[in-house]
A = this chain, B = another copy of it.
Amino acid sequence: MAKNNIKNDAITPRDVDFAQWYTDVCRKAELMDYSSVKGFIIYRPYGYALWEQIQSYMDKRFKETGHQNVYMPMLIPESLLNKEKDHVEGFAPECAVVTKGGLDDLEEHLIVRPTSETLFCEHYAKIVNSYRDLPKKYNQWCSVVRWEKTTRPFLRGSEFLWQEGHTIHATEEEARSETLMMRDIYEETAKELLAIPMLTGRKTEREKFAGAEETYTIEALMHDGKALQSGTSHYFGQGFAKAFNMTFLDKDNKLKHVYQTSWGVSTRLLGAIIMVHGDDNGLVLPPRLAPTQVVIIPIQQKKAGVLEKADEIAEQLKAAGMRVSVDASDKSPGWKFSEAEMRGIPVRIEVGPRDIENGHCVVVKRNDGVKTQMDLDENLPQAIHDTLETIHQEMYDKAAAFLNSHITRVNTLEEVGQVLDEKGGYVKMNWCGEEACELKIKELYQATSRCIDEHEEADGVCPCCGKKAKHVVYFARAY
């Protein structure tokens, strides 16, 4: 048996060792492999196909909302990265540095981009002069490098794939509205494409992005009760604009600094998909995302007409716009079932000689294993299409129920630890707004503030220090 093949008994159950289960799924579903450089992974075809689906969906949303794609250099001069104080402090410890080029030592070291704010700023400063040139709404799909000590596939790596949007605007109001719009697009993408409900809110001063005035976040809850920051949208105000001299002549003939945003999601989303939906048989992919939505597995495929019927069904479903494959390999049906389950294919159709004789097939839903007999007639594509939509809704509802049942309101410091230890998920609590109290909770319970509730006003005292609360905030242990 080939070493890269999927074995029936291949993965550790989630409740035995969740971290090992995660790694098992990443490897056995052939999403990724390790490379010989620590922390740098190989995105294998199935893993990369998931990212392509996310790209394709989001790119369309970005373009519909007036954004344009560009490509900036991979290397940033050290002096340019150093221009904005908070920014360089945030990234300097994580940088990969190019010191030689073409056999020569470089006069100025070049940083492999950890993020591209500084390049966008420099370019915008050059090309924008008048209010007529605004807004500029650019996005870039690329990989970035951040030197990490401990890494996990998709969740934390020294290189990861992402998109980074960078926009500049004539007014604060417009920039703030862009920041929130992108946060909303992220939340909708999670809901509509990934079937993942998100907790959304604003980051605390301590947790926000290096250089940002505000950071908005979408946070997903994993099966093990830990949170995963899945996308962020930043409002920069005029900080970078002043550091990089991004000015424009406004309608009133005055020279002003622009207002700026940036926002990004990364291949972390693949980690969220795995850990929100996966089960002990492997991946469970949301249907709109799945590279293969339906796999047809012929039973007794050597019997006359079986493979032909499988292909015929595949053509019928493809014609109706579904992504379909037929597994006509010489493996046993049981093996094929396991493989399709490991890969999380939303719908499996089994069709054998007796089914054909009786004019039906067996349809199995990956998310809950429910089997249905369906007629092999012209209504099949609609029925399968409806099944895919049902699966999406069921997956979202299940994840939303899990999220909602794992938000626990607490009023004392002891409760924080108790809830995190016994149940996991988010504790929702009053907070004074001081970093000292965040740090205390981190030290005591290894939990960080995930976000500030934007809708609920604090009423009471901070359970850490007893002072009057300013915000309602969510804490969780997080990836």
Contact = CB atoms under 8 A, between A and B. Distances in A.
Interface string A1-28: 0111000000000000000000000000
Contacts of A2: 129-130, 132-133
Contact of A45 (B68, B94, B129): B68
A93 interface: yes
Nearest to A142: B143
A251 interface: no
Given A37-B110, A73-B37, A112-B112, A103 B98 contact: no
A94 B101 CA distance: 7
Contacts of A413: none
B122 A36 contact: yes
Interface string A47-80: 0110110000000000000001111111111001
A470 to B, nearest CB: 36
A96 interface: yes
Q: How large is the interface on A (under 10, 10 to 19, 20 to 34, 35 or more residues)?
A: 35 or more
Nearest to A94: B102
Copies of this protein in the complex: 2
A45 B74 CA distance: 17
Interface string A246-290: 000000000000000000000000000000000000000000000
B74 A143 contact: yes
Most buried by B among A42, A95, A103, A147: A42
Nearest to A118: B36
Interface string A82-119: 00000000001111111111110000011010000001
A95 B159 CA distance: 19
A45 B63 CA distance: 12
A69 B45 contact: yes
A41 interface: yes
A33 interface: yes
A4 B80 CA distance: 22
Nearest to A267: B71
Contact of A112 (B43, B98, B127): B98
Contacts of A69: 45, 48-49, 52
Given A37-B73, A75-B145, 4 more contacts: A45-B70, A49-B68, A96-B110, A99-B99
Which 3 A-B residue pairs are closest in the complex by CB-CB distance? A102-B147, A40-B73, A45-B68
Interface of A: 2-4, 33, 35-37, 40-45, 48-49, 51-52, 68-77, 80, 92-103, 109-110, 112, 119, 122-123, 126-127, 129-130, 132-133, 138, 142-143, 145, 147-149, 158-159, 161
